[in-house]
Structure 1
């Protein structure tokens, strides 16, 4: 039997960040289904994250990782001309383009170095209330009775799947049906004037995104609603060939001699939020609580911020403050309201194709008001695109 003050289900950026923040003061168990982090779609971390990394006391270790700078955004949105947004005047300096697996490995190591215990691989088999705490059963290998865990609090950091919340019967609200078809590739040549910049381009059928990653790697993705996605989008060469015809992104990819490294993948990218992000003895963070449309470029920052906010709530709760989870719920409600307004403005800035299905759907307020839907209506695969925001003044 493992005893812990806090059991964190999910050791991605949100779960690991919460664990490393709380481990010096409380016993923390960090659980993840993967023994080592998997490589995911490319991530961008905005400049404001520097403050969170500093407050978590991991900024020096993070900067030692050598992640390349994220200097701004190059977009073709609302018109044919390129629009550049750079971070030269940002008080926090540039952001970063990340190797996601390397970033998660660093966060896990920091959590363990501060006293957190990591069980990976470990899958949540069951969870039940036990007195004033919880009893969890983990599957850590083939067969066997499973590992038993007792904890005072449980944190759901399991991404869009929200495993804990689902087992507790908490419904999830969904916005549109945005889906990403994405792949990774390699730039054979230096990216020149686009080095360190994320790129986004709107088309009649949706929008495209590309960003450099460490080691001349690059991510390329196309976003549209699931019912509008070309059925052969994952066919060899389809995504790259289609991107090369774009007037903005196409020449930039040609200049770097971009080549695909493998097949494309489909993943959910729509907005979702739990009906409630905290309850009696539990709360959710990161994508488990609120997942963003990648156009907002706030997914990874949200993971770190909600981890930081939830860590304070968990500490206060363990110290006897019964109202601290209510404060956390209000904090995330403010984030959701701001996010929905920001997203409506970003999509509203593109009005060249008002009758195209993708854009006509986003001209109605209802598409940004998330509603409850059966879980099977939305692909449960997490989307991590790291997209840069699009300003309205185009």
Structure 2
């Protein structure tokens, strides 16, 4: 192993793995530090049809089909009014989207990066990052250290490396996903995702490969806390009021109590720092799962990050220009996302509850304070929210 890697990617989810794969494919020495062993379930199971050309471009389409994903033929939504509206994926040009096991999907991408030449450490959490001459030294929880010329933060919504290096963060909402899984659901006729607006937020359900269904109530962290929605009984009460969703899952048994995952929209941005590091995927911009673009964004920004990383490694003197261009592109992406976000939520006018009033279109979104001890902070019910979960990105 090299004493100094060209790049160290912290986080082995889709954004980190795709960035590492692209860098390794160009002959760079790349280390990937993934704190999990891909042994825990990951939230977010439906990929949009446009994922296919992105996976083909990465050279992993055959690996993906080897996971035996379940075709997703479209969406049904109960949104602007109580009547369900259907949208077929056949009009996308790629026939269908895909319902997948996200843990298997993420592992597949990480293994592909390793096959391309990246060195993958699983069960390895980075706990410190500091400059070391013309490189970075990352301390790991197991006591060893890794040295690299460039660091890529792919730690998901928590943006651990970015925050440690002084990046600022704007948080635009308090959204959390209260997720469950049902077993024993016959999915033969259920190969679509369903969205249903409700007074306290909105519901998402989708089949899983095999006989199972995943479901989530998307609401705000303070509403979750005040309503005790992390407990099974209040969660079931809210489900019974979502008529179309409740009819879909019927009396299927829950595997476990609801688990809360952060789904807040956030932008982590560095300013005036020319040092060679980048953030990618949710660490740079995390979006509302309603957009259905989490994995797509991860794969697209990985391409941009790998390109910027190549310039930083080849021409260290251009770091200021390269970083500024990269951050500007993420700012533009954020602006487009916020406009789309306001439009989607603005379509729902049939509820006058706190969740929907907060999402009425404004001239510009007001960032929510990120201090978890402050009223209105994203992690208002911090003890109930898995803010470090990297899987609550793509629910559609």
Compute the TM-score of the two structures, normalised by the length of structure 1.
0.90
- Root mean square deviation, CA, Å: 2.1
Q: Which residue is 2:277 aligned to?
A: 282
Q: Which residue is 1:387 aligned to?
A: 395
Deviations 1:84-121 (A, max 9, x none): 11111112331111101101111111111111111222
- Secondary structure at the aligned position of 1:89 is classed as helix
User: Is structure 2 residue 359 aligned with structure 1 residue 378?
Assistant: no
- Secondary structure at the aligned position of 1:47 is classed as coil
User: Is structure 2 residue 312 aligned with structure 1 residue 317?
Assistant: yes
Q: Which residue is 1:246 aligned to?
A: 242
Aligned pairs for 1:1-394 (under 5 A) are: 2-24=3-25, 25-140=27-142, 146-192=143-189, 195-229=190-224, 231-254=227-250, 257-276=251-270, 279-320=274-315, 322=318, 323-353=321-351, 355-365=352-362, 368-370=365-367, 373-374=370-371, 377-379=377-379, 380-382=387-389, 384=392, 386-388=394-396
- Secondary structure at the aligned position of 1:252 is classed as helix
Shift of 1:148: 2.1
8 Å contact from structure 1 (residues 200, 207) kept in 2:
yes
Distance 1:285 1:199 in 2: 29
- Secondary structure at the aligned position of 1:19 is classed as helix
Unaligned 5+ segments in structure 1 are 141-145, 389-394
8 Å contact from structure 2 (residues 287, 294) kept in 1:
yes
Unaligned 5+ segments in structure 2 are 380-386
- Secondary structure at the aligned position of 1:242 is classed as helix
Shift of 1:240: 3.9
8 Å contact from structure 2 (residues 346, 361) kept in 1:
no
CA spacing shift, 1:174–1:367, aligned 2, 3 Å: farther
Compute the TM-score of the two structures, normalised by the length of structure 2.
0.89
CA spacing shift, 1:247–1:236, aligned 2, 3 Å: closer
Shift of 1:7: 0.4
- Number of aligned residue pairs: give it: 378
Shift of 1:171: 2.0
Deviations 1:8-46 (A, max 9, x none): 111111111111111122000000111334211232111
Distance 2:54 2:39 in 1: 22
Deviations 1:269-290 (A, max 9, x none): 1111113388520010111111
8 Å contact from structure 1 (residues 78, 352) kept in 2:
yes
- Secondary structure at the aligned position of 1:81 is classed as coil
Deviations 1:218-256 (A, max 9, x none): 1111122222225332333543453234222122222xx
